[in-house]
Amino acid sequence: MQTNEQSGEMSHETHEIVVNDRSVRIINAEPTGSQILAGAGFEPVDDYVLIEKAKVGSRVISLDERVSLAGRIAQFFAFHTGEMFSFTVNEHSFQWGRKIITEAEIRELADVPQDDVLVLGRRDGEPRVLAAGDEVDLGKPGTEHLRTEKRLVEVFIDNLPKEIPRGVYTTEELIVVLEVKPGYLLNLAGPNGLVTLKPHQRIYVKQGMRFFSQVPGGGSSR
């Protein structure tokens, strides 16, 4: 663990913080943004912007703003001064100092458990379920909105429950994951009855969807 200490304080008690995933110790219970940046080795401090991970969301810390470290290990992110980007997770606002943010960084910043997935809403298309290693471009016009959902959803195939990973599937992928007999058609139950899924059709699978297999040229297994 690398240790950095702020000198010139009356107390010699140190406080642990984390800056960009690196542990730092500060001799000050209420350091300024400048002192945090300097203590973590980001100098000159006015070349950087500091973001604190809050209990819910995140916030930008100005250079002269004091932050209370008592009773906690505060977590910060330092970025070269430049344009700031915003996004939301479950309607909570977050700030980020780079145009691109990874799925892992969003998960860490928003405390998303591994049992959940991050779903990126799209104004003009199907939602995108983020996989490990995916990135989100925050530089596009407007604010990107994400939400968390359970990784698995329960659907029904021929009235039998089955858990499958949440996401977008083609008809052919659904036939495989739902273990439909080869050569059978697949129907989706909707408000107006059964609709036969077309070849290569893309479906965003949600909790509680009901599917029914069908012998080609015959009735469904409903």
> What mean pLDDT do residues 45-53 have?
95
Query: What percent of the chain is predicted at pLDDT more than 70?
Result: 92
pLDDT tens column, 167-216: 999 999 999 999 999 899 999 999 989 999 999 999 999 999 999 999 98
Residue 9 has pLDDT above 50, yes or no: no
N- to C-terminal Cα separation, the chain: 62
Banded model confidence at residue 10, pLDDT cuts 50, 70, 90: very low
Mean pLDDT, the chain, whole residue set: 90
Is residue 33 within 8 A of residue 59, CB to CB? The reply is: no
Of 34-38, 55-59, 156-160, least confident by mean pLDDT is: 55-59
Distance CA 6, CA 8 (A): 7
Q: What is the pLDDT of residue 1?
A: 39
